[in-house]
Amino acid sequence: MSTLTTTLPGQAPGPVERAAPTGPARVGPIEGLRHTATLSWRSLVQIKHNPMELLDFSVQPLMFLLLFTYVFGGAIAGSTGDYLTFALPGLMVQNTLFTTLNTGVGLNNDLTKGVFDRLRSLPIARSAPLAGRIVADMVKQTWAIAMMLGLGYILGFRVRTGPLDALAAFGLIILFALAISWASVLVGMLVSEPEKVMVFGFTLIFPLTFISNAFVQTSTMPGWLQAFVKINPVTALADATRGLLSSGPVATPVWHTLLWAAGIAAVFAPLAVNAFKRKV
């Protein structure tokens, strides 16, 4: 032991017995993807044991769809059929945005319940707990949108464009949700308990989705509100989804949505990653 403590001139007393480097010092990219896949699997398997969650992201959107169509449809658009055509894209957008909160809630749960500590003590990619959660949430999002479209179809909604346009609509919604997820991640990393993510998210996302043209035409609102509706990214996304699924302009709202998504991600992704790194 004493022979191993060596002090070279001009060097601080060296720590003893440094091991020879065996094995890589970091995680390779392929390995990192595998860790992400395993942790996404974990998030999805959780659903099996938590029926409430299944209810949350399956039944709830369907209920909203039925409520809006049959309760408000007649009053807002004159007929439930017309309203469905107008509102289904909006409802898909609204549901997706609310669901992004789950990302923050889930991460906060992992943080406060000690699961992150367990994961951090393992030789896995630092980003995997975050990436795994996000990937799993995207899968759930896609599932929820597909279910809404399926029920919409039963109720009489028809895709009047092509399958590629419909796919593009899916992709655009998911992409925008991904951008918003970064804000959700940031909040999830900063607050002390999962419920606070919900409170924070609702106060932000409620006005954002309702003061848009997701459910009603912009022209029916007072002028001062229209000003906000027109610049609201949710309006752009709802318009783009309508255009891609049934009819209406496509290019402009799609570009607006993409720009917004890029802007939101540019602001929140670095903040969220930073907060995550500080905790993980």
Partner 1 sequence: MLHTMTVTDTHGAPAIVAEGLVKKFGETTALAGIDLEVPAGTVFGLLGPNGAGKTTAVRVLATLLAADAGTALVGGYDVRHDSHRVRRIVGLTGQYASVDELLTGTENLVMIGRLLGLPRSEAKARARELLAEFNLADAAGRSAKTYSGGMRRRLDLAASLVGRPRVLFLDEPTTGLDPRSRNDMWEVVRNLVADGVTVLLTTQYLEEADLLADDIAVVDHGRIIAQGSPEELKKQTGAQTLAVRPADPADTALVETTVAEIVGASPTVAGNLVSVRVTDPAVLPAVVRRLDDAGVTVGEITLRSSSLDEVFLALTGHPATDESAPATVAQDGPADDDPAARIPAAARS
Interacting residues with partner 1 (CB under 8 A): 1, 3-4, 6, 8, 14-27, 31, 34-35, 38-39, 41-42, 45-46, 49-50, 112-124, 128, 192-195
Rounded distance between C-alpha atoms, residue 234 and residue 157, angstroms:
21
Q: Check if the beta carbon of residue 185 is closer than 8 Å to that of residue 108.
A: no
Rounded distance between C-alpha atoms, residue 150 and residue 165, angstroms:
16
DSSP class of residue 232 equals -
Output 3 or 219, the one with its CB closest to partner 1: 3
**Looking at this protein, which amino acid is placed at residue 54?**
L
Output 53 or 165, the one with its CB closest to partner 1: 53
Query: What SS3 class is residue 22?
Result: coil
Minimum gap (Å) between residue 270 Cβ and partner 1 = 21
Minimum gap (Å) between residue 17 Cβ and partner 1 = 5
Query: What SS3 class is residue 28?
Result: coil
Q: Check if the beta carbon of residue 24 is closer than 8 Å to that of residue 58.
A: no
Output 119 or 229, the one with its CB closest to partner 1: 119
Output 16 or 67, the one with its CB closest to partner 1: 16
Minimum gap (Å) between residue 110 Cβ and partner 1 = 8
Minimum gap (Å) between residue 139 Cβ and partner 1 = 16
Minimum gap (Å) between residue 133 Cβ and partner 1 = 12
Minimum gap (Å) between residue 3 Cβ and partner 1 = 8
Output 21 or 222, the one with its CB closest to partner 1: 21
Q: What are the DSSP calls for 112-176, one per residue?
A: HTTHHHHHHTSSS-TTHHHHHHHHHHHHHHHHHHHHHHHHHHHHT----S-HHHHHHHHHHHHHH
> What is the CB neighbour count within 10 angstroms for residue 161?
15
Q: Check if the beta carbon of residue 234 is closer than 8 Å to that of residue 208.
A: yes
Minimum gap (Å) between residue 31 Cβ and partner 1 = 7
Output 14 or 207, the one with its CB closest to partner 1: 14
Minimum gap (Å) between residue 21 Cβ and partner 1 = 7
Output 164 or 278, the one with its CB closest to partner 1: 278
Q: What are the DSSP calls for 244-266, one per residue?
A: HHSSS--HHHHHHHHHHHHHHHH
Output 109 or 226, the one with its CB closest to partner 1: 109
Q: CB neighbours of 117 closer than 8 A, spacing ≥ 6?
A: none
Residue the block writes with tokens 């990214």: 233
